[in-house]
Amino acid sequence: MADIIQLLPDHVANQIAAGEVVQRPASVVKELLENSIDAGAYSIKLIIKDAGKTLIQVIDNGKGMSATDARLSFERHATSKIRSAEDLFSLNTKGFRGEALASIAAIAHVELKTKQDQDELGTVIEIEGSEIKNQEVTVTPTGTSLCVKHLFFNIPARRNFLKSNNVELRHIVDEFHRVALAHPDIEFLMYHNGSESFNLPKSNYRQRVVNIFGNKTNEKLVPVVEETEVLKISGFVGKPEFAKRTRTEQFFFVNNRFIKSPYLNHAINSAFEGLMKDGSHPSYFLNLTVDPKSIDINIHPTKTEIKFDDEHTLYAILRAAVKHSLGQFNIAPVLDFDRDRNLDTPYDFENKRASTPTVEVDRSFNPFQEERVQSRSSGSSSSSSSSSSNYRKEPASQWESLYVGLESKGTKTENNFSEVQFESQPENTSLFDDGKQVETKQRTYQFHNKYIISTIKSGMMILDQHRAHQRVLYEGLLKHLTVKESVSQQLLFPLSLEFSSSEMEILENLKEDLEHTGFIFTSFTEVGIEITGVPINVPESEVSIILEQLISDVEQEVPDSHFSATDLLAKSMAKSLAIKTGQSLSRLEQEHLVNSLFACKEPTVSPTNKVTFITMSVDDFDKKFI
């Protein structure tokens, strides 16, 4: 039998590797930014067009590369970071496998310009699909400029799987935030379609967080500092009252590398236990410094997951450090045994003895003894009697006279009360009153504050109140958005809400649709909004929750067409406004919900295509008793 195993060509192997390393334009941004940091740059510029599908360019002022290194950097497993397998356990750089540039060059048009400080001329290399088209010397500033165009040009199937520009841009901004937060000592700039999105100057860590997430973030931060032999922690956590409904402001950095760790995230949630509402997530920006030999980074292609030697110790230290910071800054209630100097004895009273207070008591006072009117003059009374007179009450003379004559007036009083008429509102009768009083019977019952049970001709119907209300609200909101007619209720005082620049961009795109639902905006700035009107039946306290949930839904899935965006807005608001499980409903509310559901066009499923009710016939019950 002929041999069937053969080696793959380099360009095919690079495309396969690109499937692991380059999942979307954000993956390219991450790799290029990390390469610039490893090159020692202190100013990095990111230029994006069409959410990275057309252009991704990173310009830095690092040390650059020679002509030989520039050519060799696009070869697979070519790296300057490691020399042996032992070096994998003492890594202090971002990249080390040498697969990023080779994978990117296999699926895009790449142009590299680089120059070292000691050289007069630099090198330019042009590559298309792993094939070098041109290499020559050029005039370029010190550092490196790497331009990636037409991503996935030779893999149309991968390009078709990319999301809309808004979604891809959201992922790029997330990667930009992760790299920029880990290195506050480096200047970062980002441009999208010719406009400046971020300008982050060199600063300290707190200022970098504020520059990214808005000026109002400064008052929300609580410092966390802890240093042990195993772990060094620095950074900030958000105050519990500013907890969000989403996880967008949760960042772990281990040795200046962003990671995802559900285990350590549980430690933070445990420290915040009892301080936040259900469904809220704390914000944190924490830097963890550990011995590089105690972690393994090379377990995931994107290097966002690492393995710790002793996770249990890190969990306990992290939880204790966060809990201590919350207590130290009076965020959480604690028992403080430190002496408060405000409670010390004043200096002037330090050597004085406390005087015992005296109490004077009239031992002759008897509240049950009848008061006697004394005829003798007050001048002849003794001092004791005069002092005792201060404690005597005035005699309640002739109190019996208040009740004299009641028996004789009783008949007249009864006659007066019999003539009293009480005001009452007329009873509302039916338009088709046949003279018979109709008894109202309860046809719905609430079960465990979650389900509504209603009787039908064939048996019984069980309705999920949360899903049913979602369907009712969804169709109503969709109608307002489509017809562009809505009713608003004015707020007594304007409501001001703060958002980050990326969240404001999402709200800006949805502003028109939100106005069609009933929101009235009087101010729309780069850092926040001001609302003077909200849709009917939307409480003021729920506005921020609704908008945060909407931003989260948009970040996860932003549709392309306008109708789909309208549909998503209606779904998100219906989910936020629908009555929750555990909410008690009156009989009228239960019946109204049932009637409103069956007045919908599609009452059988919720907006997320989940069943809203089930039915059980009498035969089903009969089978249970066989």
- pLDDT, one tens digit per residue, over 519-565 is 888 888 777 888 888 887 778 878 888 888 788 777 766 444 444 66
Please name the amino acid found at residue 380: S
Indicate the DSSP class of residue 401: G
CB atoms within 10 A of CB 405: 9
Q: Is 425 exposed, middle or buried (0-12, 13-18, 19+ CB in 10 A)?
A: exposed
Measured on CA atoms in the order 473, 476, 480, 481, is the torsion positive or negative?
positive
Domain presence at residue 365: no
Q: Are residues 186 and 249 in the same domain?
A: no
Residue 554 lies in a domain: yes
The most confident of the ranges 178-192, 299-313, 425-439, 469-483 is 178-192
Last residue within a domain, chosen from 328, 362, 386: 328
Place of tokens 């789909």: 564
Residue 590 near residue 452, CB atoms below 8 Å = yes
Q: What is the pLDDT of residues 316-326, one digit of tens each?
A: 999 999 998 88
Mean pLDDT computed over 65-80: 80
More confident residue, 220 or 409: 220
Q: What tokens does 132 get?
A: 């070098």
Range of the domain at 246: 212-328
pLDDT at 386: 46
Note the pLDDT of residue 387: 47
Q: How far apart are CA 424 and CA 469, in angstroms?
A: 37
- Strand residues in 458-565 grouped as ranges (E): 459-464, 488-498, 520-524, 528-535
Give the residue with greater pLDDT, 517 vs 63. 63
Question: What letter does residue 218 receive in the DSSP assignment?
Answer: G
Q: Is the pLDDT of residue 295 over 50?
A: yes
Mark whether 263 and 195 lie in a shared domain. no
What is the per-residue pLDDT across 378-412, written as a single tens digit (0 to 9) for each?
A: 444 444 444 444 545 555 556 666 666 665 554 55
Do residues 131 and 238 both lie within one domain? no
For the purposes of burial, counting CB atoms within 10 Å of the CB of 521, is it exposed (0-12), middle (13-18) or buried (19 or more)?
A: middle
pLDDT at 435 over 60: no
Same domain, 35 and 177: yes
Instruction: Give the pLDDT mean for 498-506.
Output: 79
Q: Which of 70-74, 290-294, 383-387 has the lowest mean pLDDT?
A: 383-387
What confidence tens digit (pLDDT) does each residue in 246-262 have?
788 889 998 888 888 88
Q: Which residue has the tokens 């009740």?
A: 403
CATH, residue 104:
3.30.565.10
| Amino acid in position 290 | V
Q: What is the DSSP letter of 77?
A: T
* pLDDT computed for residue 291 by the predictor: 85
Question: Which of the four pLDDT bands, split at 50, 70 and 90, describes residue 216?
Answer: confident
Asked if residue 386 belongs to a domain, the reply is no
When mean pLDDT is compared across 167-171, 223-227, 352-356, the lowest value belongs to: 352-356
pTM comes to: 0.66
Read off the pLDDT of each residue in 59-63 and give the average, rounded to a whole number. Answer: 91
The mean of the pLDDT values for the chain is 79
**pLDDT tier for residue 204 given thresholds of 50, 70 and 90:** very high
Strands (DSSP E) contained in 457-595 are 459-464, 488-498, 520-524, 528-535
User: The tokens 């450090």 sit on which residue?
Assistant: 321
Cα–Cα distance measured from residue 21 to residue 148, given in angstroms and rounded to the nearest whole number: 15
Q: Are residues 517 and 607 in the same domain?
A: yes
Q: Work out the burial of residue 598: count CB atoms within 10 Å of its CB; fewer than 13 is exposed, 13-18 middle, 19 or more buried.
A: middle
The answer to whether position 316 is within a domain reads yes
Residue 429 predicted with pLDDT over 90: no
**324 and 460 co-located in one domain:** no
The DSSP bridge pattern shows strands 187-192 and 143-149 to be unpaired
pLDDT value at residue 38: 86
Q: How far apart are CA 258 and CA 224, in angstroms?
A: 18
- DSSP secondary structure string, 299-360? TSTTS---EES-HHHHHHHHHHHHHHHHHHTTSS-----S--GGGSPPGGGSSPPPPPPP--
Average pLDDT over residues 117-133: 89
Boundary (domain end) residue, out of 328, 363, 378: 328
The CA distance from 397 to 372, in Å, is 11
Give the domain CATH number at 287. Answer: 3.30.230.10
Q: Where does a domain end: 172, 200, 228?
A: 200
Q: Is 610 among the domain residues?
A: yes
Distance CA 297, CA 173 (A): 23
Spatial separation of the C-alpha atoms in residues 340 and 36, rounded to whole Å: 52
The tokens of 618 are what? 């009498």
Q: Is residue 227 part of a domain?
A: yes
Asked if 615 contacts 459 with a C-beta cutoff of 8 angstroms, the reply is yes
Per-residue pLDDT tens over the stretch 609-623:
889 998 888 888 888
Q: Does some domain include residue 437?
A: no
User: Total domain count for the chain?
Assistant: 3
483 and 585 in a single domain? The answer is yes
Neighbours of 379 (CB within 10 A): 6
In this structure, the answer to whether residues 256 and 134 fall within a common structural domain is: no
- The pLDDT confidence band at residue 74, using thresholds 50, 70 and 90, is confident
Residue pLDDT, tens place only, 105-124: 888 899 999 999 998 999 99
DSSP state of 98: S
Express the helix, strand and coil content of the chain in percent, nearest 5 each: 40, 20, 40
282 shares a domain with 143? no
Residue 159's CB is within 10 A of a number of other CB atoms, namely 14
Confirm whether 381 is domain-assigned.
no
CA 297 to chain centre: 29
Answer with the residue of higher pLDDT: 506 or 288: 288
Instruction: Tell whether 595 and 510 lie within a shared domain.
Output: yes
Clarify whether residues 117 and 218 are in a common domain.
Answer: no
For 349-458, strand residue ranges (E) read 444-447, 451-456
Q: Are residues 311 and 173 in the same domain?
A: no
Average of per-residue pLDDT across 443-454? 86
